[in-house]
């Protein structure tokens, strides 16, 4: 039986390895690359042994840091953490489990020690076809609308939407997915048994029922500013691309996008007003290597498989667009605010007089021109469909 496993976790990693990594998740902070190097070079068992007081100091640990790590290690009870996770309906995944999402290994020594997971879905399978949607907490109505539309649109196309469960863009993206019965993942900067922010307790509980709630921190742990920033690398690594919807210059969403770029993932931005400070960070991304997107189809065209193309974008088809080319040239040759003789129109259209006259009668039958004595003039219908410059001529 897997310790802290469950039906969806896979049992490839040993019970001892799992317990050691639960222990270390209490001692090392997320993204600790030196700690990751200790694990890679010495193994989890040896690192735990030394931290527990049964061996010499770990390489490159300063006196101050070593004292702090040892103090933390004295209070750890990994079996209790696993029991608390089970009571909350959570499991603990580690590298080596069949459910472990291999994309996280791209983080190198900064990859998570393990993942605490609430929800029935398979994390590895969901991560293979996922997109991150992140942005400002204090977003505008436009930002919330775009995040919700992206969330629902991606879900309807069979994509998993990953975000941070925060207020603003994150919450709007999650709700957009849930509203169409889609798949969404909330990556928290705290224990998965204590949803944060408190105002999103119901939302995160619903995500756990319909999707997945994941995090690096053990049960009961609280979020800090640095943990929010470090959490963003997990969002970037789990997904095939990151979309930023509204972000100021110092937004945490930009941290996610830049982490995605470092990992070789796609980065995208939804543009906003040039005067909006909340879109300034997005526009900065778009001036670099990020791609402008306006809806889910354009996101999927970038991150999806070959052939998943967004539809061509065209303006509305106007009645004059359906005219034959010769008829359009004659129509374009008429002055905007006065009548003109047929020979003048023929010269302007570059055609013979007889052909111009024939086209003028055709255009009159369609309501574009009218006869004024020996001249011809555009009707009001035609005037509406021409450019402002033509109207002044």
Question: For 202-236, how does the pLDDT look when each residue is reduced to its tens digit (9 = 90+)?
Answer: 999 999 999 999 999 999 999 999 999 999 999 99
- Name residue, tokens 């963003």: 232
CA dihedral 136, 138, 140, 146 (to 10 degrees): 40
Q: Give Cα separations from 151 to 121, 302, 329 (angstroms).
A: 18, 16, 46
Q: Which two tokens stand for residue 210?
A: 């319909």
3 state SS of 47: helix
Cβ atoms of 240 and 266 within 8 Å: the answer is yes
Mean pLDDT to the nearest integer, 117-132: 97
| Of the candidate ranges 110-114, 305-309, 371-375, the one whose mean pLDDT is the lowest | 305-309
Q: What is the DSSP letter of 106?
A: G
Q: Which two tokens stand for residue 174?
A: 């999650």
pLDDT in tens, 267-299: 999 999 999 999 999 999 999 999 999 999 999
- Name residue, tokens 């042994």: 49
CB-based burial label for 108 (10 Å; 0-12, 13-18, 19+): exposed
Q: Where are the strands (E) in the chain, listed by range?
A: 90-93, 115-118, 130-135, 160-163, 184-188, 212-215, 241-245, 266-270, 291-292, 340-341, 369-372, 375-378
CATH 1.10.10.10 fits 319-392, yes or no: yes
Bridge partners, 377 (sequence order):
370
* Distance between CA atoms of residues 77 and 41, nearest Å: 24
Residue 389 confidence (pLDDT): 47
Residue 230 confidence (pLDDT): 96
* Distance between CA atoms of residues 384 and 95, nearest Å: 66
Question: pLDDT band for position 392 (50/70/90)?
Answer: very low
Q: 319-392: same fold as 119-303?
A: no
Q: Which two tokens stand for residue 213?
A: 């709630």
* Distance between CA atoms of residues 45 and 100, nearest Å: 20
CA 4, 201, 219: angle at the middle one, nearest 5? 30
Question: pLDDT band for position 120 (50/70/90)?
Answer: very high
Residue 132 confidence (pLDDT): 98
Mean pLDDT to the nearest integer, 372-388: 75
- Would you say residue 92 has pLDDT above 50? yes
Tell me the CB-side half-sphere exposure of residue 393, using CA atoms within 13 A.
15
Question: pLDDT band for position 19 (50/70/90)?
Answer: very high
DSSP string, 294-320: -SHHHHHHHHS-TT-PPPPP--PPPGG
* Residue 340, phi then psi, degrees to nearest 5: -140, 150
In the chain, what are the domain boundaries? 119-303, 319-392
CATH 3.40.190.10 fits 119-303, yes or no: no
* Distance between CA atoms of residues 168 and 134, nearest Å: 9
* Distance between CA atoms of residues 85 and 158, nearest Å: 30
Other C-beta atoms closer than 10 Å to the C-beta of 174 total 31
Residue 270 confidence (pLDDT): 97
Cβ atoms of 207 and 166 within 8 Å: the answer is no
- Would you say residue 381 has pLDDT above 90? no
* Distance between CA atoms of residues 161 and 70, nearest Å: 39
> Terminal CA-to-CA distance of the chain, rounded, Å?
85
Which residues fall within 8 angstroms of residue 198, CB to CB, at 6 or more apart? none
Mean pLDDT to the nearest integer, 245-252: 93
* Distance between CA atoms of residues 169 and 253, nearest Å: 10
* Distance between CA atoms of residues 278 and 214, nearest Å: 28
Q: Which two tokens stand for residue 363?
A: 């255009």
């Amino acid at each position: 039986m897997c310790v802290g496993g469950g039906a969806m976790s896979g049992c490839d990693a040993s019970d001892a390895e799992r317990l050691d990594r639960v222990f270390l998740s209490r001692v090392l902070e997320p993204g600790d690359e030196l700690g990751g190097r200790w694990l890679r070079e010495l193994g989890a068992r040896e690192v735990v042994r030394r931290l527990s007081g049964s061996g010499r100091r770990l390489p490159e640990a300063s006196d101050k840091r070593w004292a702090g790590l040892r103090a933390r290690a004295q209070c750890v009870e990994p079996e209790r953490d696993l029991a608390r996770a089970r009571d909350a309906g959570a499991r603990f995944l580690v590298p080596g489990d069949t459910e472990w999402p291999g994309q996280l290994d791209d983080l190198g020594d900064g990859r998570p020690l393990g993942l605490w997971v609430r929800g029935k879905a398979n994390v590895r399978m969901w991560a293979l076809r996922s997109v991150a949607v992140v942005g400002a907490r204090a977003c505008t109505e436009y930002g919330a609308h775009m995040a919700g539309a992206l969330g629902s649109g991606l879900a309807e196309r069979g994509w998993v939407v990953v975000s941070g469960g925060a207020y603003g863009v994150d919450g709007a993206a999650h709700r957009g997915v849930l509203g169409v019965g889609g798949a969404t993942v909330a990556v928290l900067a705290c224990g998965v048994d204590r949803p944060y922010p408190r105002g999103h307790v119901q939302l995160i509980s619903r995500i756990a029922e319909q999707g997945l709630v994941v995090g690096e921190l053990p049960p009961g742990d609280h979020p800090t500013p640095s943990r929010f920033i470090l959490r963003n690398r997990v969002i970037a690594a789990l997904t095939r691309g990151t979309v930023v919807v509204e972000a100021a210059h110092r937004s945490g969403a930009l941290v996610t996008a830049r982490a995605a770029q470092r990992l070789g993932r796609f980065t995208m931005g939804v543009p906003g007003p040039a005067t909006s400070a909340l879109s300034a960070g997005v526009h900065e991304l778009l001036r670099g290597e990020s791609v402008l997107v306006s809806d889910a189809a354009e996101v999927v065209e970038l991150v999806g498989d070959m052939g998943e193309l967004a539809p061509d974008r065209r303006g509305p088809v106007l009645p004059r667009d359906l005219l034959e080319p010769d008829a359009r040239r004659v129509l374009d040759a008429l002055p905007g605010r006065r009548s003109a003789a047929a020979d003048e129109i023929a010269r302007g259209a570059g055609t013979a007089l007889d052909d111009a006259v024939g086209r003028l009668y055709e255009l009159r039958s369609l309501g574009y021109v009218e006869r004024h004595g020996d001249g011809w003039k555009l009707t009001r219908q035609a005037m509406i469909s021409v450019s402002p410059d033509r109207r002044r001529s």
